[in-house]
Chain A
Amino acid sequence: MTALASIAPRRLSKAATASGRQRSFAASCGIYLCVAVFAIWILLPVWYLVVSSLITPAQLGVKPFPMVPGSITFDNYLSVLTGSTGSKGFGSTDIGARLLPAIGQSFFVSSVLVVLNLTIAGLAAYGLSRYPFRGSRLFELSIIISRVVPAIAIIGPFFVAFRITGILNTPWALIVSYNVFTLPLAIMILKNYFDQLPREIEEAAKIDGASRLQTLWIIVVPLARPGLVAAGVLIFLEAWSEFFYSLVLTNQLTVPPLLAGFQSVQQFNWNALAAATVMSMIPPVVLVIIFQRHVVGALTAGAVK
């Protein structure tokens, strides 16, 4: 409010014209021009990707790139889905055939992590929020700091440990290692959420004789559902997007390292890669757009007052 003090004293005569309610025609034009620039900035690369996935290699070879193609085809999608891209990679099977299994593995890894993390992080976040103990502040601090530990600084020991235990190149290697970044994220979001939940109902339940665990399960979990959904979507998104651990600890088991692998195979053309990329982008983008409100709310609760 101190900022307002520097502004010139009120002049009522100017009030009507200076009011922000009415926008001039020029200002409107300016805004719609900016909106157009914004839409182009976001959509141009996406449009390029989608068009690439819908045209033939012959059309792709035309200069300049046909931003509005004369005809479209779904052959690229079909060839990836049926494993007939004509690219053998190093083995004898078509590498396009690996996309669907990789999408399946990505779903499996991400879903298991969501369930595991919501349970473990939910308990921890509730404990930190309602029953702080000696050292809980330090624990929260280390969780924030853990977000900046580079994956590359801790991947070596994981590699060695997983080779010894024999889970290298299995989904479990990822389910274990992804906790490094998903668990702190989930704890931060849920702690934030619990802090905002009113405590009165829990207190009433306690007076009625409910144990602490009963209160948590019967009262708090249903109340915290929006926060749990948001945390779940964000865990899923992070796990789905993760590239580096999966690159090092598995043989292109999940989608991101597989797509990177497609890129390094010479005969694998951009049309097929574009189709594979579109299919791999849809799950996270759709998920986030569906739960937009929850996710953005949870994301910003910590960052914005």
Chain B
Amino acid sequence: MTASSLSSNALTRDDRRFGFRLTAPAGILLAVLLLVPTILTILYSLHDVPANGRSLGPFVGLENYTIVLGSSVFWRSAWVTFLFSVGFVVLSTLIGLAMALLLNQPFIGRGLARALLIIPWATPWLMIGILWKWFADGSVGGLNAVLLMIGATSDYHDFLSDPNSALAITIIAAVWRQASFAGILLLAGLQTLPGDLNEAASLDGANLWQRFRNITLPWLRPALVTVTVLNVIYAFLQFDVIFAMTQGGPGDATQVLSILIYRQLFGVTQIGLGSALAVILGFVALAGGLITVKLLYARGSQPA
């Protein structure tokens, strides 16, 4: 093959400047819209900002952070966030994997089933929250009707006003959407799995579980890593579903960090405290993001 003029080692200085100029509008836009507000929020978190937000107010150093980290409300909310995230990530990934494996089998109506998989993913998060809030409703809900019909319960139960079940229902609602997303990505991964690999293995006498364990799972590993890490990020940043379903209630049973921050910033307008909380949440999510990047690069360095 002849030396390619567009391969990166043959680029002239002018070519590189051209690439820079093409990227500049996006770069400038993102710097203004992302970097500047991020820096401002960090500044807010170091000041006792007045409620009208017109000025920074007096500099208080890390006081907002010590107040946040010393408050039981924060730790309670962090715990709820943790519970929500664990349930959300584990269930979304496992149900997604199960759906992908199923939809990769040949059966009549598979095309239709795959189109069904799209619906939860394409539905806006907030509408998923609305849908599930009413589906789980204690008087007009469909969930109660179904549970009653199959004989699982004997009476209507108001799941979302019960602190013991509210968080579980919000998790199921969010999983309903995210499992589809995971299923779509994992199904695409399965479809690239060469069929003769499985065939050869079964000729070799490998049973279903052995084939899954030794062929399918290793093949899906990169996709599974990506899906899991994306699920982690979605879990930490989840706001819409919980806002629509419980607004953090009953009491503080579903008050994840993003809801707590919303209340601090827009309910009681504690801009300094809310900003400190937002920075903490940002760091937690950023840690997740860095893990994503790290895992992606670890994967990229593997041969084929």
Contacts and interface: CB of A to CB of B under 8 A. Distances in A.
Interface in A5-31: 6-12, 14-15, 18-20, 28, 31
A243 B124 contact: yes
B132 interface: yes
A6 B33 CA distance: 53
Contacts of A44: 142, 146
Contact of A274 (B120, B132, B134): B134
Contacts of B15: 131, 212
Contacts of B16: 131-134
A39 B262 contact: no
Most buried by B among A28, A61, A141, A145: A145
B204 A43 contact: no
Interface string A28-71: 10011011001101111111110110000000110111010000
Contact of B122 (A14, A284, A297): A284
A73 B17 CA distance: 63
B127 interface: yes
Contact of A45 (B132, B237, B296): B132
Interface residues of B, number: 120
A91 to B, nearest CB: 21
A35 B266 contact: no
A157 to B, nearest CB: 4
A152 B230 CA distance: 19
B290 interface: yes
B278 interface: yes
Contacts of A259: 126-127, 130
Interface in B85-130: 99, 102-103, 105, 107, 109, 113, 115-127, 130
A123 B26 contact: yes
A296 B188 contact: yes
B8 A280 contact: no
For the complex of A and B, 6 pairs with smallest distance between CB atoms:
A131-B19, A127-B22, A241-B124, A48-B142, A64-B145, A148-B289
Given A11-B204, A38-B99, A153-B279, 6 more contacts: A45-B176, A63-B156, A127-B23, A145-B293, A150-B282, A154-B37
27 contacts: A7-B206, A19-B203, A39-B113, A45-B135, A65-B140, A132-B11, A134-B16, A148-B282, A148-B289, A150-B237, A152-B239, A153-B37, A154-B37, A156-B40, A157-B40, A203-B6, A240-B124, A242-B124, A244-B239, A256-B240, A259-B130, A270-B134, A274-B134, A284-B122, A284-B123, A285-B123, A300-B188
